[in-house]
Structure 1
Amino acid sequence: MITRALTLAAGLTGAAGLSQFPEFSQQYMQRLGGAVDELSLQVDRYHADADALGLPLATYLQRLAAEGPLARTQATNMAGDIARHEYLSEALMTLQGAGPFMRAKLATHIGDRAVAERAMESFKPALPLTFEGVTFAGAGFFAGWLALGIALWFLKKSWRTASGFLPSGRRRRTMRHG
Structure 2
Amino acid sequence: MIFRRFALAIGLLFAGLASQLPEFTQQYKQRLGGAIDELRSIVTQFDAEAASQSLNRDQGIARLRGNSDVLAQERGASVAETTAREERLERQRASFDTAGPLSQYAVLAKDFDPGIARQAYADYQPALPVTTAGFVSAGIGLVVGWLATHLVALPIRRRRFPPTTGVTRV
- State TM-score, norm by structure 1: 0.86
Higher mean C-alpha displacement, 140-149 vs 98-107: 98-107
CA distance in 1, matches of 2:4, 2:29: 38
Could you say which residue in structure 1 is the equivalent of 2:47?
47
Deviation track 1:74-122 (CA, whole Å, cap 9, x = no partner) reads: 1111111111111111111111232321112323245110000100111
Could you say which residue in structure 2 is the equivalent of 1:119?
120
Deviation track 1:125-151 (CA, whole Å, cap 9, x = no partner) reads: 122122221121111111111111222
Query: 2:108 matched to 1:107?
Result: yes
Could you say which residue in structure 2 is the equivalent of 1:18?
18
Distance 1:72 1:3, change over 3 A: same
Distance 1:40 1:18, change over 3 A: same
Higher mean C-alpha displacement, 51-60 vs 6-15: 51-60
Q: CA RMSD in A?
A: 2.1
Unaligned runs of 5+ in 1: none
Please give the secondary structure, in 1, of the residue aligned with 2:140: helix
CA distance in 1, matches of 2:66, 2:168: 81
Higher mean C-alpha displacement, 11-20 vs 92-101: 92-101
CA distance in 2, matches of 1:100, 1:113: 22
Matched residue type, 2:21: F
Could you say which residue in structure 2 is the equivalent of 1:151?
152
- State TM-score, norm by structure 2: 0.89
CA contact (8 A) 1:22 1:132 kept: yes
Could you say which residue in structure 2 is the equivalent of 1:168?
164
Distance 1:172 1:57, change over 3 A: farther
CA distance in 2, matches of 1:136, 1:166: 36
Distance 1:65 1:150, change over 3 A: closer
Unaligned runs of 5+ in 2: none
Higher mean C-alpha displacement, 35-44 vs 51-60: 51-60
CA contact (8 A) 1:10 1:144 kept: yes
CA distance in 2, matches of 1:154, 1:42: 56
Identity %: 36
Could you say which residue in structure 2 is the equivalent of 1:65?
65
Please give the secondary structure, in 2, of the residue aligned with 1:101: coil
CA contact (8 A) 1:27 1:123 kept: yes
